[in-house]
Structure 1
Amino acid sequence: VTDQAFVTLATSDVYGLGALVLGHSLRHHRTSRQLVILITPQVSSSIRTVLDNVFDEVIEVNGLDSGDTAHLALMKRPDLGITFTKLQCWTLIQYSKCVFLDADTLVLCNVDELFDREEFSAAPDPGWPDCFNTGVFVFRPSLQTYGRLLQFAGVHGSFDGGDQGLLNSFFHNWAVKDIDKHLPFLYNLNTSSTYTYLPAFRQFGHEAKIVHFLGAVKPWSYKYNPQSRNAYQELDSPTGHHDPQFVNLWWKVYSSCVVQNHICSDSLNLVNSVSQLSIEIKTELSDPEDRKRWEEGRMDYMGRDSFENIKKKLDRFLEQ
């Protein structure tokens, strides 16, 4: 099916790695739809080359920022402002229908049946179920809708400073109008929800179709032991209550698909550099603010976290 697509977004190299894992999970489960990724100029050319091998279309877009620092501060997530860039998925008018997936999601089975749904279909957010979570949603690209979204954003802003607050206000009747547009939670399972409703996870968790690593701590924030095939967190790391089986699965896809499939690519130098820095050299970040920026995917690519500096650190690490 060439006129329908799964769409994701990467605004940094680290989220590019997440998108690669997502793309491979969709390929592994034999989706019949196109794979499209929107990237901002912050994504390096090396990562783009690897993305070209996995996605049917890699489209560069300009970053959009809500500028709503007050509401973002309430959520303690200043990194979410850039998620307004997600709105540009409505400009993909070469497709009749799309399913958006955040780059921190992982597909566990074939989910092509999502294309049977209509705009705007989404799953409830675990924090406020009368709101939908924008990590997974079905939409129809339209320049008219895109224009209306930008106009709405200019007038009303976003109640959380990110795309989720804006889209929930724009599609304000989602909670009450049409139950067919409510995706089951299994299509956007928060990997930490097991801690809030463990009995439900034990009953239904094995039926999960898409998992979503919500929060500031992502799978790539963990360290990984390739011998034991287990991911773990350092004692001084921010606690991320993600279910271990899903984090380990993410790393399994990363190590077996991303690394092995692109082992001959020059681009792997940067892929491995970003990953190794995330799981090994992060201990060098003594400044809590530096560590926080790294874990949120907001590295200084033009300065200390540039490719050349990363490569030098890895060379020293390998020499030892």
Structure 2
Amino acid sequence: MADQAFVTLTTNDSYAKGALVLGSSLKQHRTTRRLAVLTTPQVSDSMRKVLETVFDEVILVDVLDSGDSAHLTLLERPELGVTLTKLHCWSLTQYSKCVFMDADTLVLANIDDLFEREELSAAPDPGWPDCFNSGVFVYRPSVETYGQLLRVAAEQGSFDGGDQGLLNMFFSSWATTDIRKHLPFIYNLSSISIYSYLPAFKAFGANAKVVHFLGRIKPWSYTYNPETKSVQSEPQDPTMVHPEFLSLWWDIFTTSVFPLLQQFGLATDPHSHLTVEDVSGAMSHLALGETPAPAQPSVSSEERKERWEQGQADYMGADSFDNIKRKLDTYLQ
């Protein structure tokens, strides 16, 4: 369908690698819709050419930044301000309906049925289920809606400093008005949910259609060995609870995306943060050079409780999967 599209956004070359894997996964699962990617000027010309080989449309947009340092500090994610650039997706009026997907999502099955949903359809956020997660949502491009969103962004800002807070303010009836706009969680299975409610993941995870790599540590931050098809990580890394998702991401990267990066001379470009160690070993070791976030220092039980309430649990340390699982096992026994 030429008037419907999957849309994603990349604001730098690192996220472009995520977008390329996302686009490739959509194609692997035989989507019948067009693929569009919004890029900002920070994406290099070479990377834009690579994107053009996977996406039907590569659209240059300006950066929108909330400048909301107070709320972004609460999230401890100051880089999320530029995610307001996502609002440009409503300007794509060449399409009648779109599904927006963050560049850190991965498609595990055909999801064209999402186009049967109406604006604004999204899955609940694991941190606060009365809010939707803005990593995957169905919407209708509209000049009017686009203008209203920009106005709200300028006049009211966002309660979290990023796009998710703003969109939940704008589409405030999502939680209570129409259950048909609540996407099943399998369309946006977040990494956080996997280890905060492990029994549910074991019961329903096999039905997942989209996995969302939330948090600072992204798939392209890891070291991967394509010979053993294994991802290496630090101990207690929560996103490694189910390494098959990361392995799948890297499998698509090495088979579909890496050859394109080589073709356009990006595979050994230091500015792309991609290094290939032991080139003579035919890609025996790939690493994308982003440093994982350090574990948070120990805090009092009261401070820890407050951080949980703010969605800032120490998933790399005291609140790691291993510790949570140990307590769950004790409780279940």
User: What TM-score comes out, normalization by structure 1 length?
Assistant: 0.84
Q: Deviations over 1:244-279 (max 9, x none)?
A: 111111101100111235543334444995332896
Question: Which position in structure 1 is the counterpart of 2:310?
Answer: none
Alpha-carbon distance in structure 1 between the residues aligned to 2:270 and 2:50: 9
State the SS of the aligned residue for 2:263. Answer: coil
Counterpart position of 1:59: 59
**Aligned to 1:35, what secondary structure does the other structure show?**
strand
1:77 aligns with 2:77: yes
Aligned to 1:36: 36
Which runs of 4 or more aligned residues in structure 1 lie more than 6 Å from their structure 2 counterparts after TM superposition? none
Q: Distance in 2 between matches of 1:98 and 1:257?
A: 24
Residues 56/270 of structure 1: CA separation in 2 closer, same or farther (3 Å cut):
farther
Q: In structure 1, what residue type is equivalent to 2:259?
A: Q
Question: What is the Cα deviation at residue 45 of structure 1?
Answer: 0.8
For 1:276, what is the secondary structure of its paired residue? strand
- State whether structure 2 residue 130 is matched by structure 1 residue 130: yes
Does 1:241 find its partner at 2:248? no
CA contact (8 A) 2:222 2:287 kept: no
Question: How many angstroms apart in 1 are the aligned matches of 2:49 and 2:268?
Answer: 12
* Total equivalences in the alignment: 284
The verdict on how the C-alpha distance between 1:42 and 1:277 changes in structure 2, with shifts beyond 3 A counting, is farther
Whether the 8 Å CA contact 1:100–1:136 is kept in 2: the answer is yes
1:177-196 alignment runs, 5 A limit? 177-196=177-196
Counterpart check, 1:256 vs 2:271: no
| Residue type of the alignment partner of 1:241 | T
Residue type at the aligned position of 1:260: P
Residues 50 and 272 (structure 1 numbering): CA distance in 2 closer, same or farther, change over 3 Å? Answer: farther
Q: Extract unaligned runs of 5+ from structure 1.
A: 289-320
Does the 8 Å contact 2:266/2:272 carry over to 1? no
2:9 corresponds to 1:9 = yes
Work out whether residues 46 and 270 of structure 1, in 8 Å CA contact, stay in contact via their aligned partners in 2: no
Aligned counterpart, 1:202: 202
**CA RMSD of superposed structures (Å):** 2.2
Answering whether residue 284 of structure 2 is matched by residue 276 of structure 1, we say no
Distance 1:249 1:272, change over 3 A: farther
Q: Give the whole-Å Cα distance in 2 for the aligned partners of 1:44 and 1:281.
A: 17
Q: 1:14-43: per-residue Cα shift (whole Å, max 9, x none)?
A: 000000000000010010000000000000
How far apart, CA to CA, are the structure 1 residues paired with 2:102 and 2:189?
12
List per-residue Cα deviations over 1:90-138 (Å, max 9, x = no partner): 0000000000000000000110000000000000000000000000000
CA contact (8 A) 2:274 2:288 kept: no
